Structure 1
Amino acid sequence: MIAWVKAAGTAAVTFLLCQPLWAPQWGRGLLGEVGGLGVPVALAVVLVFLGLVALYCRALQRMLERVRPGAAERSPASVWWMFAIPYNFTEDFFIVHAGARSLAADGRVDRRFVRRWAVLGHGWCAFQILSLFPGAAGYVGGAVAVPLWVAHWGLTARAGRTLTPVRPPAAPSPTVAG
């Protein structure tokens, strides 16, 4: 069932990204808007954005690495699927969901915080998809998604700092007989 949802979501996102091909009268779409900035500016915007996504992924990974063993819903390294475009638009929901379940199962973070973290995370995911729509809906989606994403990033960093790092027990130090 989950594989079907991910496949259908990726197909829908691909359909939206290709909107200028099947409905050019609706506008240039997200890719056209970025491309309309000119090559040097568009390249700079894309590189800065991808750099920010990498920093966000690293914050998510650090947070999940600090979740107690057995509480993690999935591997902390799986957050890097956020770079698998267009699959990431759907996968982001699953990453946030697994992160919330991991934090809840760990039990060291307040339940209200986990709930707020999940709502913000799912919110930016949803508005990110809305940002792919043509016209005003896409602009509104992007304008809402970015602040939600930044707020979620802040909560992620806070949770990562709150959780004590999980480390394997230290090996006993050798003793010297005297």
Structure 2
Amino acid sequence: MKLLSLKMCLTCLVVLAFSLPFIYPQYGSGFLEELEMLGVGGAVALFAVFLVFVYFYCRDLSRTLALVSPERRAAAPGSVWLMFLIPYNFVEDFFIVHNVARSIEREAAANPQLNDLRGNGLFSGIGWCVAQIVSLAPGMIGKTASLIAIILWAVHWRFVRQVNTRLASAPGRERPTDASAVPSQLLP
């Protein structure tokens, strides 16, 4: 309960950051400038494309957790779908990335398929989460952080896909069912 309360308080800070361009327009329009440039139709289309990418990213994260032995999982495969709860996801993303990294690390300690793995994805994962938060800042700081977040997100996603390929190709390994890729069970 304390952790959920902390997450909700931090989410309130994210909402405040989102609202800064409305409260203090003199400091810059932040993400509103990009929305203005795109127009309503362009902004809706960009957001829809973004959600499609998030869906496939979440599916891969869920697959990672499903491929990790249940006793080594730090979270249930379905928990990654909390990334769709905007603006709560800005906070929850840190926990999702951390749990996936912990699960990969635990699996790597016992699974020879991951012996030569470089890291557990935590650096790029937390990196994109931090950059995502900083991207809410107005001006060049926010724009630069947005670009960094996208790059680190892509790096993390590539890492996760590599882990999935290795784990799925393990001898005698059953492929997870499609049920592991849907938010049917959010808790471990």
| TM-score normalized with structure 2 length | 0.82
Question: Separation in 1 of the partners of 2:74 and 2:80?
Answer: 12
Q: Which has the higher contact order (CA 8 A, sep 6+)?
A: 2
The alignment yields a C-alpha RMSD, in angstroms, of: 1.9
2:164 matched residue in structure 1 = 160
8 Å Cα contact 1:10/1:87 also seen in 2: yes
Counterpart secondary structure, 1:113: coil
The equivalences for 1:105-116 within 5 A come to 105-107=106-108, 108=111, 109-110=114-115, 113-115=118-120
Consecutive unaligned residues in structure 2, runs of 5 or more: 177-188
Per-residue deviation, residues 60-105 of structure 1 (Å, max 9, x unmatched): 1111110002111111111111110000001000001101111112
Q: What is the aligned residue count?
A: 167
Of 28-37 and 133-142, more deviation after overlay is shown by: 28-37
Partner amino acid, structure 1, of 2:61: L
Question: Separation in 1 of the partners of 2:36 and 2:82?
Answer: 24
Partner amino acid, structure 1, of 2:4: A
Report how far residue 4 of structure 1 moved. 3.5
Partner amino acid, structure 2, of 1:163: L
Counterpart secondary structure, 1:18: helix
The equivalences for 1:1-178 within 5 A come to 1-107=2-108, 108=111, 109-110=114-115, 113-115=118-120, 117-164=121-168, 165-166=173-174
Per-residue deviation, residues 35-69 of structure 1 (Å, max 9, x unmatched): 44112211111111111111111111111110002
Q: Percent identity?
A: 40
| TM-score normalized with structure 1 length | 0.86
Report how far residue 110 of structure 1 moved. 3.9
Report how far residue 160 of structure 1 moved. 0.7
Distance 1:99 1:123, change over 3 A: same
Counterpart secondary structure, 1:70: helix
Consecutive unaligned residues in structure 1, runs of 5 or more: 169-178
Report how far residue 29 of structure 1 moved. 2.4
Report how far residue 8 of structure 1 moved. 2.4
Distance 1:58 1:8, change over 3 A: same
